[in-house]
Amino acid sequence: MPSEYKVWIDGRIVDGTAARIPVFDHGLLYGDGVFEGIRVYAGRVFRLADHLRRLSTAAGAIGLEIPVGVSGLEKIVLDTARSYARPDAYIRLIVTRGEGELGVDPTSCSRPRIICIAAAIALYPDEKLTRGLDIVTVSLRRPAPDALDPSVKSLNYLNSVLAKREARLRGADEALILNATGTVAEASVANVFAVRDGALTTPPTTDGALPGITRASVLEIADAEGIPAREATVGRLDLLGADEVFLTGTGARIVPVASLDGQPIGPAPGPGPITTRLIAEFARFIETRGTAY
């Protein structure tokens, strides 16, 4: 747990250790709610409008009304970031179904609850960011969209939690999750990119990939830099045969992959030339895509 963090909850900002939710909140009881992970870089909230749009879409998909609207959420995020008073931060914006009766019936919840956390985050040690991650293909599969749509960032992340747990128990840094057809969906909490002959390929959302904000940024950068990029179904063998593989996510940013299931990716550990170029361009990209607070 971060030593210092701020939380907006029930209309006010408090120190993180003072934040409380009732035990009858359906977000806690049933994972009934949605969330966004958002980054702050140099005092600016990165792609805030895109995050709020995705959150609003996810909330609508599960029939959850945001009581303050998108404009109210924006103010909450900016106020929380300002209160945290650090130039760089991780923001976790959460909307739960709210308090209700025991039982899964969501109609017993009278009002959704909004929570916004501002803290620090470091998903991987520095040496892993330099050398690359060791990932393994885990036994779990991403649920099909007609069972639990992976495009909805709900509070039910048990599939990702168990995938990450399996990877860690097997001595790896991260999990590669396949879908029911055996093709690549994503990592536990990150999108996957493969580089072959100077071109990028990333699985489409229809294969179980979250429409990641960092993923979209990489595709935008690639287009601006003249790097061929496409969304297409990716198999495990496509990753093993790639020149480079990297993961993208709000917390991780862009992280190279060193090995998959014990097999090295590319000629040497560490980011390859395309990954290195994208990391550098992303660092410049974030300077122009933030909302000041």
Q: Are residues 26 and 112 in the same domain?
A: yes
Determine which one of 6, 128, 153, 164 is catalytic. Answer: 153
- For residues 231 and 266, the model is more confident at 231
CA-nearest of 180, 250, 185 to 215 is: 250
Is 1 inside any structural domain?
no
CB of 6 closer than 8 Å to CB of 84:
yes
Residue 240 backbone zone (phi > 0: left; psi -120 to 50: alpha; other: beta): alpha
Under 8 Å CB-to-CB from 175, ≥6 apart: which residues?
135, 136, 137, 138, 163, 164, 166, 167, 187, 188
Is 293 inside any structural domain?
no
153 classed as catalytic? yes
- C-alpha distances in angstroms, 186 versus 25, 46, 135, 276? 30, 22, 12, 21
Is 254 inside any structural domain?
yes
Give the pTM. Answer: 0.93
Inform me whether the pLDDT recorded for 182 exceeds 70: yes
Is 115 inside any structural domain?
yes
Give the pLDDT confidence score for residue 2 in this predicted structure: 54
Q: Mean pLDDT across the chain, nearest whole number?
A: 94
Domain boundary pick from 90, 119, 148: 119
CA–CA gap between residue 54 and residue 58 (Å, rounded): 6
Task: Render the burial of 197-213: b for 16+ CB within 10 Å, e for the rest.
Answer: eeebbbbebebbbbebb
Q: Compute the average pLDDT of residues 226-245.
A: 97
Domain boundary pick from 59, 86, 119: 119
Q: Are residues 270 and 143 in the same domain?
A: yes
CA–CA gap between residue 180 and residue 174 (Å, rounded): 20
Beta-bridge partners for 93? 36, 116
**Residue 91: is it exposed, middle or buried by C-beta count within 10 angstroms (0-12/13-18/19+)?**
buried
Residue 66 lies in domain: 6-119
- Least confident interval from 29-38, 123-132, 201-210: 123-132
Is 23 inside any structural domain?
yes
Q: Rounded to the nearest 10 degrees, how much is the dihedral formed by the CA atoms of 172, 149, 54, 64?
A: -120
Q: Please report, for the domain that includes residue 67, its CATH number.
A: 3.30.470.10
Q: Are residues 233 and 106 in the same domain?
A: no
Give the pLDDT confidence score for residue 105 in this predicted structure: 96
State the pairing for strand pair 133-141/290-292. unpaired
Q: Are residues 136 and 280 in the same domain?
A: yes
Q: Are residues 176 and 279 in the same domain?
A: yes
Q: Are residues 87 and 167 in the same domain?
A: no
Give the pLDDT confidence score for residue 3 in this predicted structure: 54
Split at pLDDT 50, 70, 90, the class of 271 is very high
CA-nearest of 262, 216, 218 to 239 is: 262
Q: Are residues 10 and 138 in the same domain?
A: no
Inform me whether the pLDDT recorded for 156 exceeds 80: yes
**Residue 165: is it exposed, middle or buried by C-beta count within 10 angstroms (0-12/13-18/19+)?**
middle
Q: Are residues 105 and 209 in the same domain?
A: no
Q: Please report, for the domain that includes residue 140, its CATH number.
A: 3.20.10.10
- Least confident interval from 21-25, 94-98, 249-253: 249-253
- The pLDDT tens digits for 60-89 are 999 999 999 999 999 999 999 999 999 999
CB of 91 closer than 8 Å to CB of 117:
yes
Q: Are residues 63 and 99 in the same domain?
A: yes
Q: Are residues 86 and 149 in the same domain?
A: no
Q: Are residues 136 and 281 in the same domain?
A: yes
Number of structural domains, the chain? 2
Q: Are residues 230 and 95 in the same domain?
A: no
- Least confident interval from 138-142, 144-148, 163-167, 181-185: 144-148
Inform me whether the pLDDT recorded for 111 exceeds 60: yes
Domain boundary pick from 88, 119, 150: 119
